[in-house]
Amino acid sequence: MRYSAMRVIEFAAAGGPEVLRIAEHPRPVPGHGEVVIKVAAAGVNRPDIQQRRGLYPPPPGASPIPGLDVAGIVVAAGPDVSGVSVGDAVCALANGGGYAEFCCVPALQCMPVPRGFTFVQAASLPEVYFTAWNNVIWLGRLAEGESLLVQGGTSGVGMAAIQIARKLRNATVYATAGTEEKLAVCRETGAQAAVSYKGPWDDEIRALTGGEGVDVILDAQAGPYTQRQLDLLKPDGRLIFIASHLGETAEVNVRSVVRRRLTLAGSTLRPRPAAYKGRIAAELVEQVWPLLESGAIATRIHAVFPFEDVRSAHRLLDENEQIGKVVLSVDPSLAQTVARSLPDGRN
């Protein structure tokens, strides 16, 4: 392989995990405000699966290579970069391109690897914590002492949302999951109660809240869940969608939304500008990173796959059997190394 080349995971057409293949691409060159990271580990996320299936195309200007979160060492920096230097150990939310040996990302979207974390652990953080923060704290406006329902509490985003809500908002948290094992994990993660989405989950949550309902719901299902969730909200409640796995459309009682002053919102973080994501990164480092370093908040990694076995990683997510995050070991010599952060955040 040429020195200026790198290995990547690509796919020529939409399909199952079998369409994924290793290819050789030129190494990226950083532009204004960007850095290049030598990738030690990369997270595998639900949007990667949707992109492989042809359902989630990258936004204009983003790399067509899948992969939204990476951890590794900064090896190059473009003009107008501050706060990140060559040699720093970082994890970052990428706009794409994470399934590669080198990844170019806006410097604003980089965060120091939490003290005591390996690169594999750090790669499990960006996408889920950015998503949880953006939707629960910013869009959902979860306030001190309010209540939150997390649909799918053992996803990476779900586990991040549960812990953020409990540790930073002292919220009462409910969650749904599909098996007894997953329900137990929801409770271990911090949910005060967890119910099966295979049963009358809305009636069960309503009973648990004494008929009051909840202040905020974080959901990726939509479709037939939509009105049931609106009915479960307290007055002034907020329903936040991050996907629509059960259906893109729903019939909604608008009169009830107006009368009860409800908010229904959705978000896609990937097309947002670097400045927006950079503000989230700064708040995560300030408020969540100390809790990660102290162990008050934990990341749960279900499995680590070699870069060459990316198809198995995608099959696992296709089967929806994982609890927590799935990570690719891109550089085995670095992936399980503990990245030590100096007091100023540099390495």
- The DSSP string of 240-301 is EES--TTBS-----HHHHHHTT-EEEE---TTS-HHHHHHHHHHIIIIIHHHHHHTSS---E
Q: Give the count of alpha carbons within 13 A of 115, CB side only.
A: 11
Question: Which residues in the chain show pLDDT less than 50?
Answer: 1-2, 341-347
4/133 Cα distance (integer angstroms): 37
135/149 Cα distance (integer angstroms): 13
| pLDDT tens digits, one per residue of 165-218 | 999 999 999 999 999 999 999 999 999 999 999 999 999 999 999 999 999 999
End-to-end CA gap in the chain:
30
Give the tokens for residue 236.
């002034």
3-state secondary structure of 127: helix
Length of the chain: 347
CA distances from 307 to 69, 231, 259, 274, 314 (A): 14, 45, 52, 27, 12
pLDDT at 347: 43
307/23 Cα distance (integer angstroms): 12
**pTM of structure:** 0.94
Question: Residue 47 in contact with residue 54, Cβ under 8 Å?
Answer: no
318/109 Cα distance (integer angstroms): 28
pLDDT at 339: 78
3-state secondary structure of 29: coil
Phi, psi for 176 (deg, rounded to 5): -115, 155
Written as one letter, the residue type at 269 is L
Parallel, antiparallel or unpaired: strands 102-106 and 301-306: unpaired
